[in-house]
Amino acid sequence: MSLNDDEVDMSQQARIALLVTQLKEGLTEDAKAAVASELANLANHSAEHSAQIVEAGAVQPLVAMLSEGSAGSKEWAAYALAHLSDKGEDLVVQIFQANAVKPLVMLLKKGTDRGNMWAAHVLAWLSAGGEKRRSEIFSEGALQPLVKLLQEGSDGSKCKAAIALAGLACDSEQRSAEI
């Protein structure tokens, strides 16, 4: 999927709106992965882009991608959500409200190392937001896959898993003991 010259000249906000519209439409799996990749790169570039991406409605289709398609498209969706999650609490709230916890935990259980790393990244940000979110992450079964990732993952994955586990341990002696 490539953008023509007229589309490239659009404002960034219009470009983001176009990408999100494409993400919501019935694109092929490869095209959705390409759009998720581009959204991730835009989100990584600035908090303003991240806010525009969320405002345009990208979170729900990205969350849906975590449960559908190839390992590669799941990785790109998690990567995009990771870059959105680290741009502010208001964006993390949007991800949580899109019911991202369960598919993120499923990705931890069945994903690739890269997908696991980005899922752990998002879960780390989600766990920083209070007891309700930590309880949901824990109750969805994130503990064992995070521990496994800490033991067996790449260095980057281990780091993200450790941060997520530390977040889950906050404010709960019972969870701290289980971890």
Whether domain 1-99 has CATH 1.10.260.30: the reply is no
Vertex 132 angle, CA 122 and 36, to 5°: 25
**How far apart are alpha carbons 137 and 114 in whole angstroms?**
20
Q: Where are the domains of the chain?
A: 1-99, 100-179
pLDDT 10s digits, 22-54: 988 877 888 999 999 999 999 998 888 999 999
Give me the mean pLDDT over the 18-23 stretch.
90
Tell me what pLDDT residue 8 has: 43
Contacting residues for 156 by C-beta, under 8 A, at least 6 apart: 117
> Which tokens sit at 37?
């990749």
Q: What local confidence, expressed as pLDDT, does residue 5 receive? A: 44
More confident residue, 105 or 174: 105
What is d(CA 12, CA 6) in angstroms, rounded to the nearest whole number? Answer: 13
Residue 13: what pLDDT?
85
Matching CATH topology for 1-99 and 100-179? yes
May I ask the CATH architecture of the domain 100-179?
Answer: Alpha Horseshoe (1.25)
Q: How much is the pTM?
A: 0.87
Better pLDDT: 18 or 105: 105
Q: What is the mean pLDDT of residues 89-95?
A: 92
CA–CA distance, 85 with 96 (Å, rounded to integer): 10
Mean pLDDT of 128-150: 92
Residue 178 confidence (pLDDT) above 80: no
What are the C-alpha distances in Å from 75 to residues 14, 81, 168? 25, 10, 23
* 3-class DSSP assignment, residue 59: helix
pLDDT reported for residue 28 = 86
